[in-house]
A and B are shown apart, each in its own frame.
Chain A
Amino acid sequence: MDSVRSDTAPVPQALKILVAGGFGAGKTTLVGAVSEIAPLRTEEVLTTAGVGTDDTTGVATKTTTTVAMDFGRITINPSLVLYLFGTPGQNRFWFLWDELATGALGAVVLADTRRLADSFAAIDYFEQRNTPFVIAVNCFDNDQRYTVEQVREALDVDGHVPVLLTDARDRMSVKNVLITLVEHVLTMVRSSVPA
């Protein structure tokens, strides 16, 4: 079919990186620090039977709820665009994570040193899916209460998973996190290629 739109820019290849972590861990901040567009949000409206919301009557109630996903964009070059998606913080939206994680290049798990356990769920999730991930330790209180090794031990992650300290507000710091993630993926891809 002949195109009437020869003026259109070529369609780039899109890649997806997820940014996960507990409630308030800095996901939106991290996306905003490196995105070339102000972080956008997209919403999904869910209709669910109100399981457990009205046990006394036993009447199934239908409820709708919206869940927001933040995202940002980094144009690598004219034919390659990276999208960063912040996952919804609440655990009850796990099934949305599946959509987000499908086809993802990898994930950044933000760990907040004040609440390390909040990142367990995300770590388990990516481990089970075999999604490559790095752990970015968000140092809210700049007195660095933990070393990388202490955090690694506390989170009990595999030795090959990169763990690094970060400041989600700082562009260079976040850039470094993303580079570490993609290098980690590269290592995995290389080692899985049959000789």
Chain B
Amino acid sequence: MSTDPLDGVEEGPAWWDHEAGPVVRPYMVTGGRVRPVTVDFDLITFLVATATLAADTPSPEHQAILALTQEPRAVAEVASRVDLPLGVVRVLLCDLLSDGLIARYDPPPTDHLPNVETLQAVIHGLRAL
């Protein structure tokens, strides 16, 4: 059996130095805040900017989110497109929310499966793909 010390490094935990750059920078963006204080955002919560780009928007990252959400977008999609970790994006979203620059549309309560009509619509839509 191989005992090569490099075994698994490629796929292993990415907590080595080369990751430090991208890891550190996002938290500068949020001023070191790591989680939203007030509200949380589901991955599929939809966001819509309520304003076009405001000149006094706090930061380029906030601007980028506003630009993206000129049409409805899910949180996961926003995070992916602005290329920031989810936790960071959630903090920025809280800022935008409290500044009234963005509206959120949450998915239905999580303790219920969708109703029959919705499920039938999904099946129908998938068949038509």
| A residues at B contact (CB < 8 Å) | 3-5, 8-16, 23, 34, 40-45, 47, 63-66, 69, 71, 73-74, 76-77, 80-83, 85, 99-100, 102-103, 105, 132, 171, 175, 178-179, 182-183, 185-186, 188-190, 193
Contact A14 B74 (CB under 8 A): yes
Tell me whether A40 and B76 are in contact (CB under 8 A): yes
The residue that A83 contacts in the complex, of B15, B44, B126, with Cβ under 8 A, is B44
The answer to whether A42 touches B122, judged by C-beta atoms less than 8 angstroms apart, is: no
B85 to chain A, nearest CB (A): 4
Do the beta carbons of A66 and B14 come within 8 Å of each other?
Answer: yes
Which residues from chain B contact A179 at a C-beta distance below 8 Å? 123, 126-127
**A63 close to B122 (CB less than 8 A):** no
Quick one: given A8-B71, A80-B122, are A14 and B116 in contact (CB under 8 Å)? no
Closest 10 CB pairs of A and B: A76-B125, A103-B110, A40-B80, A14-B44, A45-B85, A63-B15, A42-B79, A11-B105, A186-B119, A65-B15
- Per-position 1/0 for B94-121, Cβ under 8 A of A: 0000000000010111100111101111
Q: Could you tell me if B125 and A8 are in contact, using CB atoms closer than 8 angstroms?
A: no
A102 & B110 in contact (Cβ 8 Å cutoff): yes
Whether the Cβ atoms of A182 and B119 lie closer than 8 Å is yes
Most buried by A among B42, B45, B109: B42
Contact check, A64 vs B77: say whether CB atoms are below 8 A apart.
no
Measured CA separation A23–B14 after assembly (Å): 16
Q: Are A182 and B85 in contact (CB under 8 A)?
A: no
Asked if B14 and A65 make an inter-chain contact with CB atoms under 8 angstroms apart, the answer reads yes
Interface residues of B in 71-96 (CB under 8 A from A): 71-72, 74, 76-77, 79-81, 85-88
A179 to B126, CA, bound (A): 7
User: Do A13 and B107 touch (CB < 8 A)?
Assistant: yes
A102 to B51 Cα, complex, angstroms: 31
| Residue in A40, A65, A189 whose beta carbon sits within 8 Å of that of B116 in the complex | A189
Would B13 and A65 count as touching, CB distance under 8 A?
yes
Given A43-B85, A43-B86, A45-B87: A178 in contact with B43 (beta carbons within 8 A): no
Q: How far is the CB of B30 from chain A (nearest CB, A)?
A: 11
Question: Is there a chain A Cβ closer than 8 Å to B37's Cβ?
Answer: no
Contact B122 A82 (CB under 8 A): yes
Q: Which residue of A lies closest to B22 (CB)?
A: A66
Q: Which residues of A contact B108 (CB under 8 A)?
A: 13, 103
Question: Which residues of B40-79 are within 8 A (CB) of A?
Answer: 42-46, 48-51, 70-72, 74, 76-77, 79
